[in-house]
Amino acid sequence: MKLTVNGTTHDVDVEPEMPLLWVLRDELGITGPKYGCGIAQCGACTVHVDGEAVRSCQLEVGDVEGQITTIEGLGTPAALHAVQDAWIEHQVAQCGYCQSGQIMAAASFLISTPAPTDEEIDDAMSANLCRCGTYPRIRAAVKTAAAKLNGA
């Protein structure tokens, strides 16, 4: 089957029920999306399908319809996305393992909610687990990212 990831189309020969996460990681070598729980509890595996955040551990590859973007396709060290830029400005990551998912969740949230209130940020970002406790900086970075995206 064909899969478009970060603008490149790949041919993959896997069973349709394999979760997208493992197709990306083990078949295509795209390791930005992480395995944390496999049961939709942590959000470390978050990617975008046509701009919308999805948990790739829950999405069977046979059901994928649309363009997939992973953290690697959102921005690069040389050309950062505004959310990544804000994350670096606030020095959010500790171990960093949850942060691909946090950043992908925030990027999609800020498309649908460009000027979020504190409460909206809390609601939107609470589905992503961070065992290191980086939550205060995530809050601050989402606000900064919103301002950056709004050209402020």
Partner 1 sequence: MSKAGKIARRTFIIGSAAIVGGVAFGTYLAKRAIPNPLLNDLADGEAAITPYVKIDASGVTLITPRADKGQGAYSIQANLIAEELDIDPRTATVTPGMPGPAYYNGTVLAEAVPFPAYDQGAIAEAMRSFMAVPAKLLQMQITGGSSTVPDSYVNLRMAGAVARETLKQVAANKTGLARADLRTEDGHVVLPDGSKIAYTELAADAAGTPPVTDVSLRDPSEWRILGKANTPRLDMVAKCTGTETYGIDHSMEGMLFASVRANPGIGGYVVGFDATAAQGMRGVERIVPVKHGVGVIADNTWRAIQAVNALNIEWGPADYPATSAEIFETLEAAIGDEDAYDHRQRDDGNVDDALADGEVIEASYRIPYLAHAPLEPMNATVRVTDDACEIWTGTQIPLFIRDKAAKITGIPAEQVFVYVQPMGGSFGHRLEMTHVEQTVELAMAVKGTPVKMTWSREEDMTHDYPRPAAVSKARGKVVDGKVAAFDLSVGQSAMASSWFGRLMDMSIPGPDATITTGSWDQPFDIPHYRVTGYRAPDMVPVSSWRSVGASSNGFMHDGFLDELIHAAGADPLAERIRLCGHDTSRKVLEAVGDLSNWAGTDLGENRGRGVAFCMSFGVPVAQVVEVTNTEAGIRIDKVYCVVDSGPVLDPSNFEAQVTGGIIFGLGHAMGAELTYADHMPEQNNFDTYESIRLYQTPVIEMKALSNASKIRGIGEPCVPPAAPALANAIFAATGQRIRKLPLNKHISFA
> Could you list the residues that contact partner 1 (CB under 8 A)?
14-15, 18-19, 21-22, 25-27, 29, 31-39, 41-42, 44, 70-72, 75-77, 80, 84, 87-88, 91-100, 103, 122-123, 125-139
98 lines the binding site for ligand FES (CB under 6 A): yes
Interacting span for ligand FES (CB under 6 A) from 7-15, 68-76, 96-104, 112-120: 96-104
Question: Residue 96 interacts with ligand FES (CB under 6 A)?
Answer: yes
Please choose which of ligand FES, partner 1, none residue 139 contacts, taking the beta carbon within 5 to 8 angstroms, the exact cut-off set by kind: partner 1
- Judged by CB under 6 A, the residue of 5, 20, 30, 44 near ligand FES is 44
In angstroms, give the least distance from the CB of 57 to partner 1: 9
Q: What are the tokens at 76? A: 């690069």
CA–CA separation, 38 and 50 (whole Å): 22
Selection from ligand FES, partner 1, none that 71 binds (CB < 5 to 8 A by kind) is: partner 1
SS (H, E, C) the chain: CEEEECCEEEECCCCCCCEHHHHHHHHCCCCCCCCCCCCCCCCCCEEEECCEEEECCCCEHHHCCCCEECHHHHCCCCCCCHHHHHHHHCCCCCCCCCHHHHHHHHHHHHHHCCCCCHHHHHHHHCCCCCCCCCHHHHHHHHHHHHHHHCCC
Residue 55 interacts, among partner 1, ligand FES, none and using kind-specific CB cut-offs from 5 to 8 Å, with ligand FES
